[in-house]
Amino acid sequence: MKKVLLTLVGTVSLSVTVQAEQFWSDNSVSILSGSSYVEPFAGGAVDDEYSYTTLTLEHVSGHSWGGLFYFVDHHSGSDNTSSYIEVSPKYNLMKMEGMVSSVNLAYTLETGGATDNHLFGAGADLKVPGMDYFGVTFYRAMNDGEDMDDNQITVVYGYSNGDITVDGFMDYSFASDNDNSEDNMHLNPQITYNLAPMLGFKNKFKVGIEYSYWGAKYGVDGADQSAISLLLKAHL
């Protein structure tokens, strides 16, 4: 855990040191509450369902060198409490005109405290008509555990119309080097409505839902998750 905290502190320090080259940033805190989550390694059946309440701190920013995204989740419920962190910087190799707006190198650290996964990849930001943003990244995932490395495609997207926002991601992970795993897809959209104008708040205050579909979660056959959660999100 100490290594995780040092990594997070270092990432935050990087963000601060490049403040003069920061174009924009957004910070938020959210609460997510729902059920029908599956945990194939929790000790029960792979399709047993669990309920969770999750507190999330999130940061995203754009810089002259690229972009930075990280979040910290704290899950509680179903007799299980855990934390999860992702840190994802990307570096712009080149800017372009046309449908492809930039080509990037990307890195992601995934950690739950006991294990660290390191994802190295390359991708592109695309100009898709009607979308606020759309990006595709191809990763080689160096996962903790013997023969668990795999390849992953990640798509991120965002769309807004007035106070309505639809955003999220899709991860498609191919079967790992361990022959016992399966290809798996995690689709995670959020649909929110900004109540701030109605409430007289200066910053966005969103209410909505998150849908999490994860077929063969963590590559485990039969661990299929389909969960809808209520979401409150305050931008700071």
Say what the pTM is: 0.88
Cα–Cα distance list, 168 to 7, 171, 187, 213, 230 (Å): 25, 10, 8, 12, 15
**What pLDDT, in 10s, does the model give residues 143-191?**
887 678 999 999 999 999 999 999 999 999 999 877 788 999 999 999 9
Asked whether 84 and 70 are in contact (CB, 8 A), the reply is: no
**What pLDDT, in 10s, does the model give residues 135-148?**
999 999 998 876 78
Domains and CATH numbers, the chain: 2-235 (2.40.230.20)
